[in-house]
Structure 1
Amino acid sequence: MNNNDTLTFEEALSRLEVLVNRLEEGNLPLEESLDLFAEGIKLTKHCSKHLEQAEKQIYVLLEDDNGRVVIREEEL
């Protein structure tokens, strides 16, 4: 996996699941395990960025009693 920047959240998460399953099998050479682990760290950071962006989109614009626009975090 060379460039994680072009992956969607779902694609990155799916690839991460594949890596975890392969690592959990425990029958990989050490070098390959380390490479997969490093890729997994990159994918985790990529997914985290996507989640942070999604969290920012949860904010909802509201008008208060005085007609001012305020931002309130949407309750989940």
Structure 2
Amino acid sequence: MATTRKKASFEEQMQELDSIVNQLEQGNVPLEEALKQFNQGMTLANKLQKKLTTAQNTLAKVMDENGQEQPYEKEGDDPTNEGGNQGYDSDLKDM
């Protein structure tokens, strides 16, 4: 009888990655096992990064009045200002 394995949650995968990192940091793992764990850790890290990117992209969108997804921008954001003072309205005029 085949067993079905439930898909691990993000948090469970993070715990598994943390465990692998801790074991490798201790340095008492035989080389072959260390290489196996390293590869497993890299695979997990890539999967987790993809999940985070997907979640970030989902959260960065809002629906407009017509039900269409739109990028989220707060009032006052200047998309041409690439990271500088976004959302900041200065009351200072030319002196």
TM-score (norm 1): 0.74
Counterpart code for 2:55: A
Counterpart code for 2:72: E
Relative to 1, partners in 2 of residues 1:26 and 1:61: Cα closer, same or farther, differing over 3 Å? same
Distance across 1 between alignment mates of 2:31 and 2:55: 36
Tell me which protein shows more strand as a share of its residues. 1
Distance across 2 between alignment mates of 1:68 and 1:61: 5
How many residues align? The count is: 68
Indicate the structure (1 or 2) with the bigger Cα radius of gyration. Answer: 2
Distance across 1 between alignment mates of 2:67 and 2:20: 49
Distance across 2 between alignment mates of 1:68 and 1:17: 40
Distance across 1 between alignment mates of 2:57 and 2:34: 35
1:27 partner SS:
coil
Q: Deviation of residue 69 (structure 1)? A: 4.7
Tell me which protein shows more helix as a share of its residues. 1
2:46 partner SS:
helix
- When structure 1 is superposed on structure 2, of 29-38 and 53-62 the one drifting more is 53-62
**Consecutive unaligned residues in structure 1, runs of 5 or more:** 1-5
What is the aligned partner in structure 2 of residue 11 from structure 1? 12
Q: CA RMSD for the aligned pairs?
A: 2.3
What is the aligned partner in structure 1 of residue 30 from structure 2? 29
Give a deviation string over 1:20-76, Cα, whole Å, max 9, x none. Answer: 00000001110010000000011011101211220121111234xxx795612367x
TM-score (norm 2): 0.61
2:64 partner SS:
strand
Distance across 2 between alignment mates of 1:71 and 1:10: 29
